[in-house]
A and B are shown apart, each in its own frame.
Chain A
Amino acid sequence: MNDAAPGTRLTPAAEAGRLLLIAMAVTAVLVPLLWIAFAAFRTPADLTNPGSFAIDPTLDNMRDIAEGGIPGAALRSIIVGFAVTIIGVFVGALAGYSIARFRTGGIPLRFAILFPTIIPPTVLAFPLLALALQFNLSDSLIAVIAAHLTIVVPMITWFMTGFFASVPREVEEQAAIDGYGPFAAFWRVVVPNVLPGLGASALLAFMMSWNELFYALVLAPGSSQTLPVAISGFNTFQGVKLGPMSAALLLTVAPVMVLSFVIQKRLVRGLGGSGVKG
């Protein structure tokens, strides 16, 4: 680029360093993923042979998990994920709007809202379990959904507060003059302006729930296992069942990756360019 401002063009050494850093970051992220994808199609014999990269492609691992508890756990994870996403986005968005527009709770609430996410899950897990037992909800999806919401709602509230704050108040006032009541104005004028934020919130909520192990393990270790709990079950007393575990991990990671890849372009564009600057 010859039209770069003076002093902003990278020297060849700096350019090489830059590419090296990128390569390292990409490697750190991709190698474990690729290894899982590789291992998912290897036989148990190959897998337990250290130093060997031999592969005799097989679908045994896939067949294995298809017959086990994984499909059921996946379905439960999907149910929990969608419930957490829908409730979390709905409650979090309304709370964020309230804080941004009506200064509900003042400045303190803006910060206090994040406290629950600072507390380690280990502190909250057992009180939550006690509550679940009290209400006869232990080992149920409802308990897991409720536990996930304790993380997701504050996160989305905090995230969406910023988005709502960036929508000019005048736009809502304009809608009020144009003929809409407060709820219709919120729905027709404010929500379309924060759609990228809502999309990002939904994605974050779903991924958080989909990946969450600790609460799910404590609150629903039995017949209501979610996918991460079921996968942790491959770590047995007889050792780790590497093949089926890799297959299950691949099935766990794949949808999230595809999802973020599809959404990412829209998301970044939306996050960067929402609203009309005057």
Chain B
Amino acid sequence: MASIRFENVVKHYGAYQAIRNVSFAIPDGEFVVIVGPSGSGKTTMLRAIGGLERVNSGRIFIGDRDVTDLAPKHRDIAFVFQNYALYAHLTVRNNIGFPLKARKMPKDEIMRRVEDVAERTGLKALLDRKPSALSGGQQQRVAIARALVRKPKVFLFDEPLSNLDAQLRLDMRREVLELQQSLGVTSVWVTHDQEEAMAMGDRILVVNHGMVEQNAAPEALYSDPVNAYVARTIGSPTINMLRGKLNGQGLDVEGVRFPLPGGALQGDIMIGVRPEDIHPVKAAADHPNATPPFEAKVQLIELLGARAIMTLLVGNHRLTAVFNRRDLADIREFDTIRVSAAKDRLLYFKPETGERIRL
């Protein structure tokens, strides 16, 4: 069990900057998700923790130990790859036992541990099969079992669910979390899927262009992002960003007025409104701090069950909103309705830099 710490880590490939002077700390026992688009450096960071990439400068610590110059095998970690990286020539049993055999553990102890892990991961019946005779989900389970068997200090996961279908992904997500909770091993999970990040992480690092934009708990990222990039990355559907001129009456966006308050702010501003924070006015009674209502045309209704994703047109500006089913009532597509936004949930950003402005 161990914390993980980056101190001014830099990694470049020729002129390409994969990690730009990154520092962060992950507390012991947390499940941390690194989320970002492809090419953002998230996988490079994970591989740097694992020792699969040598960094150009900076230090990496696992626990109190400086592991920057240690080979992967001396870092006491386990890695689960996107393509599972199973040993095709070995049975499931020998795949799981491989890390123990490599460390010269006695045979009967290996047997015992493999059986134990196979029990936990539901692989008991498959121990004597070759990986090629397993489904994708089963192969992934073997990869996870192999990571568990050595009881390492840190688990590293590189998009391990991206090759599985949707339902299996949800099941595996839960299983991994339960395993991690019961073991309490510090885990780093890389994904490009913000929903997966929100669902799994005790803490999330939002990564972009080789830098950590924000390092916080999911709730804090969602309600209190440090910049527009984080606000756009976290949350589904994506946050509405309105860029315009703020005056006493509201925000003027290319000739359309949104009656949003701006406190003492004036001039060029970008306001973020979460789709969940836009409500039909009929329901506005539930939200005493709602903004003044404004008219919107319903362009599209996507009913998901308990909620509906609404595509609204205000003037020629598109807004996405999420309505509860009971608020939907008799609203139909192409109706013009009155909506308002939750005043205290609005997010203000500098339009040029995307930096957050706190009122």
Contacts and interface: CB of A to CB of B under 8 A. Distances in A.
B189 interface: no
Interface string B60-75: 0000000000011101
B103 interface: yes
Interface size bucket, A side?
A: 20 to 34
Interface size bucket, B side?
A: 20 to 34
Interface string A27-38: 000000000000
B86 A173 contact: no
A116 to B, nearest CB: 33
Contacts, number: 74
Among B71, B84, B89, B131, the most chain A Cβ lie within 10 Å of the Cβ of B89
Contacts of B359: none
Nearest to A171: B85
Contact of B88 (A170, A173, A181, A274): A274
Interface in A153-202: 168, 170-171, 173-181, 184, 189, 192-193, 195
A224 to B, nearest CB: 41
Nearest to A174: B85
B83 A278 contact: yes
A273 B85 CA distance: 16
B87 interface: yes
Contact of B77 (A177, A181, A274): A177
Contacts of A168: 83, 85
B220 interface: no
Contacts of B98: 175, 178
B41 interface: no
Nearest to B89: A192
B145 interface: no
B102 A278 contact: no
A4 interface: no
A276 interface: yes
Interface string B89-114: 11000000011001100000000000
Contacts of A274: 88
Contacts of A105: none
A170 B99 contact: no
Contacts of B72: 173, 176-177
A176 to B, nearest CB: 5
Contacts of B139: 276, 278
B289 interface: no
A168 B105 CA distance: 27
B52 A173 contact: yes
A184 B163 CA distance: 29
A189 B52 contact: no
Contact of B102 (A180, A193, A273, A276): A180
A170 B102 contact: no
A174 B81 contact: yes
Contacts of A17: none
Among A168, A171, A174, A274, the most chain B Cβ lie within 10 Å of the Cβ of A174
A275 interface: yes
A276 B146 CA distance: 16
B60 to A, nearest CB: 15
Interface in A248-278: 273-276, 278
A276 B131 contact: yes
A179 B102 contact: yes
A176 B52 contact: yes
Nearest to B104: A179
B163 A278 contact: yes
Among A173, A176, A180, A276, the most chain B Cβ lie within 10 Å of the Cβ of A276
Contacts of B90: 192
Interface in A196-242: none
A177 B73 contact: yes
Interface string B34-56: 00000000000000001110000
B258 interface: no
B354 interface: no
Interface of B: 50-52, 71-73, 75, 77-79, 81-90, 98-99, 102-103, 131-132, 136, 139, 146, 163
Interface of A: 168, 170-171, 173-181, 184, 189, 192-193, 195, 273-276, 278
Give 3 closest A-B pairs by Cβ, nearest first.
Answer: A179-B102, A278-B83, A170-B85
6 contacts: A177-B72, A177-B73, A177-B77, A177-B99, A180-B73, A193-B89
